[in-house]
Amino acid sequence: MQLKQIRIGELIAPNNVFLAPLAGYTNYPFRRLCKGYGAGLCYTEMVSAKGLKYGSDNTAELLYTQENEGVCAAQIFGSEPAIMRAACEHEKLAPFPVVDINMGCPVPKIYKNGEGSALLENPVLAEKIVQECVKSGKIITVKFRIGVREGEYFAAEFAKRMAGAGARLLTVHGRTREKFYAGDVHFEEIAAAKAGVDVPVLANGGVFSVADAENLLEKTGADGVMVARAALFDPQIFCDLTGRARESKLAMFEKQLKWTEQVFDERFTTVFMRKMAAFYVKGERGAAAAKERLFRAQTPSEVLDIARVLWGD
């Protein structure tokens, strides 16, 4: 695919292939892995603005980073403009020059609380949130869906509002809240959003290969793509998208496990890396049996032993 730099306010991302925020997965070691494979910008898991305000320990974990990660974006969610601005100004977000506002999460708990994709139905409030967050001095971006229900699309109008409120980059997931992560991507809605604003627009949805990314860019005119679930199954998709050489699956896994152990305790590392191995083994011969062995593993070393059997020479 055609790579190019993306300007996000005063920041220039080296390429136009980004890693999406993925709840439960885009922690520091995983982001570091994907960035090493070529991702132009990586996002944290979505973080509650209220969690930041009230000092949630879990929130602090979600925002863990190190200087060697380089530039990274944080994603926050909430529905109260003042609290969202306070979150942007919180010391825990100091390492992140870019703050993305989640206006696309379809999860019922988030939606029913008036957050995430619920903000699509309240564009005036969504504008106020962006306007307040901009006052923090952070570079503000917004990730949103094309609508809430099938047949009721308004991506172009919403994009204009967000850009007008001060967002410096928009990511448009080409599905409605109703569809969650399934169904066709509505290319025309992403294209309409792109045509209506003068800030960069990333297309999101259905990118599992270079061909998918090229098709999405061709049909939407977007400036780049954001990769989500595909990265969970294969972080080295960023190698393919950016023309880098792949390494062995075992080398990848050993690296990720080592970095995870350096940051998290043994229990978290074991559980997290079991989940990652289950993603990586999908589609391989004997995958079901391998998953059974993985989920019986009780330590990181046991998980690594299984990975060496699966992917060693």
C-alpha–C-alpha distance, residues 108 and 90, integer Å: 27
Beta carbons of 29 and 253 less than 8 angstroms apart = no
Beta carbons of 29 and 51 less than 8 angstroms apart = no
C-alpha–C-alpha distance, residues 45 and 81, integer Å: 20
Which residue matches tokens 């570079």? 139
Kindly report the backbone phi and psi dihedral angles of residue 190, in degrees, each rounded to the nearest multiple of 5, phi listed first. Answer: -65, -40
Catalytic residue among 34, 42, 72, 105: 105
Element (H, E) at 100: strand 98-103
Q: Is 105 a catalytic residue?
A: yes
C-alpha–C-alpha distance, residues 82 and 79, integer Å: 9
Which residue matches tokens 């993985």? 294
Burial label for 61, CB within 10 Å (0-12, 13-18, 19+), is middle
Give me the active site residues, please: 105
